[in-house]
């Protein structure tokens, strides 16, 4: 498959790019039905926490599914889909390795995801991680589409800040601050579009204020030159589905994080890894 030069140019320029209509309506309907049935019958062991069908919080009725590819063929097939492989390879310049799948349901009324950088969790070194975010429903600002922050593709991991009250609309009270003068932009997507972005890009999503679901199937990858990734992401897979059993070690620490100085980002504090915090 030939990857559009416009896609690659946009990814290299911005650290993110959307490939329109990469998956068909039918494929998306099948994924949406398959994973919605999975969570509605209890998550098959992949749900984050117990599924509580009567809970007032929509995210407890429809929690996200984490790492279903570790036992589910549909999720595994998505993760190593050749269309994703081609786009990721074009974007990163070399074929990456696959480490994660996730399904978000984001039903009506669900809170969004705080602004963050994915490499704060994956801790890929050297290089970064990559995400492929497939829209299983049309996404817009009303149902809480992804929000991307321009000019953040080369940032180090930034120190997160407390924002009291954020958890009314998002998952918690801590978020990655925006560079001075820069605002997040909405990623307006149709079902079947795939958003690709690197692990430095600050992104998140706001509340779903519509009466529509906003479901997504996500794959996470690490660049070819990576030598370390956080423990949670093992096993690491090649894009042909085989396991990588040497050459990539566990990242151990959080290390320094950045703050916005007068003219440049200053590396100062240190952040706690997700694994250390849980």
Ligand X SMILES: O=C(O)CCC(=O)C(=O)O
**Residue 246, class by beta-carbon neighbours within 10 Å (0-12 exposed, 13-18 middle, 19+ buried)?**
exposed
Q: Does 131 participate in binding ligand X (rule CB under 6 A)?
A: yes
Closest to 137 (Cα-Cα) out of 271, 29, 274, 246: 29
Closest to 104 (Cα-Cα) out of 59, 57, 147: 59
Q: Judged by CB, which is closer to ligand X: 112, or 254?
A: 112
Closest to 114 (Cα-Cα) out of 201, 47, 173: 173
Q: Judged by CB, which is closer to ligand X: 200, or 205?
A: 205
Stretch of 23-31, 65-73, 77-85, 200-208 contacting ligand X, by CB under 6 A: 200-208
C-alpha pair distances (Å), 17 with each of 81, 99, 116, 123, 275? 18, 20, 18, 22, 29
Q: Does 216 participate in binding ligand X (rule CB under 6 A)?
A: yes
Rounded least distance, CB 131 to ligand X, Å: 5
Rounded least distance, CB 203 to ligand X, Å: 6
C-alpha–C-alpha distance, residues 111 and 224, integer Å: 34
Q: Does 118 participate in binding ligand X (rule CB under 6 A)?
A: yes
* Percent of the chain that is helix, strand, coil (3-state, to 5): 25, 25, 50
The sign one gets for the Cα dihedral 248, 253, 256, 258 is positive
Rounded least distance, CB 78 to ligand X, Å: 14
Total residues in contact with ligand X, by rule CB under 6 A: 12
Q: Map residues 55-84 to x or -, x wherever contact with ligand X holds by CB under 6 A.
A: ------------------------------
Name the DSSP letter for residue 251: -
C-alpha–C-alpha distance, residues 193 and 18, integer Å: 7
Are the C-beta atoms of residues 226 and 119 closer than 8 Å to each other?
Answer: no
Stretch of 51-59, 78-86, 160-168, 199-207 contacting ligand X, by CB under 6 A: 199-207
Q: Does 104 participate in binding ligand X (rule CB under 6 A)?
A: yes
Rounded least distance, CB 268 to ligand X, Å: 25
Residues within window 134-173 making contact with ligand X, judged by CB under 6 A: 146
Q: Does 218 participate in binding ligand X (rule CB under 6 A)?
A: yes
Q: Does 133 participate in binding ligand X (rule CB under 6 A)?
A: yes
List residues near ligand X by CB under 6 A. Answer: 104, 112-113, 118, 131, 133, 146, 203-205, 216, 218
């Amino acid at each position: 498959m030939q990857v559009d030069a416009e896609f690659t140019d946009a990814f290299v320029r911005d650290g993110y790019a959307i490939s329109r209509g990469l998956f068909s309506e039918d494929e998306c309907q099948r994924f949406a039905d398959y994973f919605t049935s999975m969570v509605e019958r209890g998550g098959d062991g992949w749900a984050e926490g117990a599924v509580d069908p009567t809970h007032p919080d929509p995210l407890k009725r429809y929690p996200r599914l984490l790492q279903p590819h570790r036992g589910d063929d549909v999720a595994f097939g998505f993760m190593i889909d050749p269309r994703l492989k081609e786009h990721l390879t074009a974007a990163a310049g070399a074929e990456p390795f696959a480490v994660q799948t996730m399904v978000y349901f984001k039903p009506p009324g669900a809170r969004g995801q705080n602004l963050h950088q994915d490499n704060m969790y994956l801790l890929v070194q050297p290089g970064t991680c990559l995400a492929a975010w497939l829209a299983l429903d049309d996404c817009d600002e009303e149902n809480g589409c992804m929000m991307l922050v321009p000019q953040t593709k080369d940032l180090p991991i930034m120190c997160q800040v407390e924002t009291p009250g954020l958890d009314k609309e998002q998952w918690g009270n801590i978020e990655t601050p925006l560079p001075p003068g820069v605002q997040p932009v909405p990623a307006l997507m149709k079902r079947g579009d795939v958003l690709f972005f690197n692990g430095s890009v600050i992104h998140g999503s706001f509340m779903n204020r519509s009466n529509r679901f906003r479901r997504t199937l996500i794959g996470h990858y690490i660049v070819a030159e990576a030598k370390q990734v956080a423990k949670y992401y093992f096993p690491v897979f090649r894009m042909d589905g085989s396991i990588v059993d040497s050459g990539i070690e566990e990242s151990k620490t959080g290390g320094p994080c950045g703050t916005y100085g007068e003219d440049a980002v200053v590396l100062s504090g240190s952040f706690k890894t997700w694994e250390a915090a849980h």
